[in-house]
């Protein structure tokens, strides 16, 4: 595996490659990330991964400085997966000058749910993804469904800008107790880790209620948030939305069987976890 930090060197290395499959990450890799590498290989060759902790998507009170960085372990894992190139730029490589041009997602999608509780997050995400796409020029790129709203925004961005990159969605990888794998799970204490699967259980309770014919999705969401709070969590949202655009479903949508997804974000101690479940 070649480890490259320079944009110019990366372009030289990939020149002439027409089927590149790309997996962008912020490192601290776990089995969920590695499953993305395997899926990428099914859709293209060579597989290129990136590791870059993107300052633009962190708010002033968020965890940029303490975000887990495990570069040596990450290299070993990627080599075992047969990744061809690891693009690991420094901040100077990726932002040689202040990034004054930014991508701004539409407010009806970018300012709800995660965007409401993390202002500017999706601007930072879409800006770095667009820049990485420009550097790697992949035919396909793989993103996990755990970040459901992010996946939708990136897919819409690629379509509206007519990017020559197909966005592939990968299913969420879970631990045996249902907890969605996340780099931030490492922040959990032993007791918190034991309590963490409660978030996925609440998603299932809401999904099961909707499948059984309950139509007051707002009430279902409020009840799930109340239960999480009673368990000692600090919920930001539990929301049932339409898969197509993440807008709230109307009564007619519910009666017609519109495909739905229930999404949630909540803090357990100091760790903020997100998850979702398609209905």
- What is the spatial distance between Cα 160 and Cα 194, in angstroms, rounded to a whole number? 42
**30 has catalytic annotation:** no
Pairing of the two strands 140-144 and 85-87? unpaired
Among residues 25, 27, 33, 228, which one is catalytic?
A: 33
Q: Which two tokens stand for residue 161?
A: 């800008």
Active site residues: 33
């Amino acid at each position: 595996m070649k480890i490259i930090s320079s944009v110019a060197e990366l372009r030289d290395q990939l020149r002439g490659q027409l089927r590149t499959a790309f997996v962008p990450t912020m490192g601290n890799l776990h089995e969920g990330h590695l499953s993305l590498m395997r899926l990428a290989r099914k859709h293209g060759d060579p597989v290129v991964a990136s590791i870059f902790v993107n300052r633009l998507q962190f708010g002033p009170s968020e965890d940029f400085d303490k975000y887990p960085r495990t570069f040596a372990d990450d290299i070993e894992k990627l080599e075992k997966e047969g990744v061809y190139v690891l693009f690991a730029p420094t901040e100077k490589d990726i932002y040689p000058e202040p990034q004054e041009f930014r991508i701004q997602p539409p407010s009806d999608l970018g300012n709800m749910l995660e965007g409401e509780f993390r202002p500017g997050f999706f601007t930072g995400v879409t800006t770095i993804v667009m820049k990485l796409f420009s550097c790697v020029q992949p035919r396909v790129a793989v993103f996990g469904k755990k970040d459901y709203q992010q996946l939708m925004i990136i897919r819409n961005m690629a379509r509206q800008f007519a990017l020559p990159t197909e966005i592939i969605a990968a299913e969420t990888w879970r631990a045996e107790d249902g907890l969605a794998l996340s780099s931030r799970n490492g922040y959990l204490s032993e007791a918190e880790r034991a309590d963490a699967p409660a978030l996925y259980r609440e998603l299932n309770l809401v999904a099961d209620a909707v499948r059984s014919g309950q139509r007051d999705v707002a009430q279902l969401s409020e009840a799930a948030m109340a239960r999480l709070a009673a368990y000692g969590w600090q919920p930001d949202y539990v929301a049932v939305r339409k898969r197509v655009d993440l807008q709230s479903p109307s009564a007619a949508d519910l009666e017609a069987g519109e495909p739905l997804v229930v999404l949630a974000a909540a803090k357990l101690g100091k760790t903020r976890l997100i998850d979702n479940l398609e209905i």
